[in-house]
């Protein structure tokens, strides 16, 4: 089988402009995520990946991004990931570039035990794992987004409205009809 020419590596017939980020967004991938305690969880990640394009290169082969991601996932099928460094290194090699960027977001389930009832319940958090390679510098980032909040009884008591009201405000609340006072309580 004859190898096709790598058009993206052509050096003639295009404007000589460097581009900071070219790539693909919205690649869906099933992958194992490894927590600090070595627990593994399967997630569906939404991945964005880019690399830099120097002024002497016409473009990148976009299929190499998806191919690199799925190759790393299949090579590490049972290992699980705690960051995207392996993906970034594979992309850097595939594109022969100095700078790559990969970011994946997914829902992750944490099972917490309630302090009073001791019931285990799932808490869904949104996690973003991001790795950048700029020249030889590798940086890993982890962002966790959660909307739930729980308070211990002491914190709950301290945060109650009645403890933050001034005397004047308390007097105003006391002058309200009983049904409104009950709602405020």
Same structural domain, 79 and 129: yes
pTM over 0.85: no
- What is the per-residue pLDDT for 39? 86
Residue 99 in this model has a pLDDT that exceeds 70: yes
* In a domain? residue 20: yes
Q: Domain with 131 in it: what CATH number?
A: 3.10.270.10
Same structural domain, 181 and 101: no
Q: What 8-state DSSP symbol labels residue 27?
A: E
Same structural domain, 170 and 116: no
Task: Phi first, then psi: give them for residue 82, nearest 5 degrees.
Answer: -115, -10
**56: which residues sit within 8 A by CB, 6+ positions away?**
11, 16
Tell which wins on pLDDT, 183 or 1.
Answer: 183
* In a domain? residue 13: yes
Nearest of 85, 79, 78 to residue 104 by alpha carbon: 85
* In a domain? residue 177: yes
Render pLDDT for 108-153 as a digit per residue (tens, 0 to 9).
998 888 777 788 888 889 999 999 999 889 999 999 998 766 666 6
Render pLDDT for 167-180 as a digit per residue (tens, 0 to 9).
888 888 888 888 88
* In a domain? residue 115: yes
Tell which wins on pLDDT, 16 or 175.
Answer: 175
User: What is the domain count for the chain?
Assistant: 2
- Mean pLDDT of the region 76-104: 89
* In a domain? residue 125: yes
Same structural domain, 124 and 73: yes
The range of the structural domain enclosing residue 164 comes to 151-185
């Amino acid at each position: 089988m004859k190898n096709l020419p790598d058009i993206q590596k052509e050096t003639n017939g295009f404007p000589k402009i460097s581009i900071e980020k070219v790539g693909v967004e919205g690649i869906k991938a099933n992958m194992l995520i490894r927590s600090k305690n070595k627990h593994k969880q399967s997630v569906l990640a939404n991945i964005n990946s880019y690399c830099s394009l120097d002024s002497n290169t016409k473009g990148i082969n976009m299929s190499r991004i998806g191919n690199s991601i799925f190759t790393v996932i299949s090579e590490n099928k049972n290992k699980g990931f705690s960051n995207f460094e392996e993906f970034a290194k594979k992309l850097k090699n595939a594109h022969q570039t100095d700078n790559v960027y990969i970011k994946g977001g997914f829902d992750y389930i944490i099972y917490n035990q309630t302090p009073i009832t001791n019931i285990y319940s799932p808490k869904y958090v949104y996690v973003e794992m991001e790795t950048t390679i700029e020249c030889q510098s590798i940086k890993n980032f982890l962002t966790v987004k959660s909307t739930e909040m729980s308070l211990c009884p002491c914190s709950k008591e301290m945060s109650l409205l009645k403890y933050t009201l001034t005397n004047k405000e308390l007097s105003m609340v006391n002058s309200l009809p009983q049904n409104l006072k009950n709602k405020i309580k």
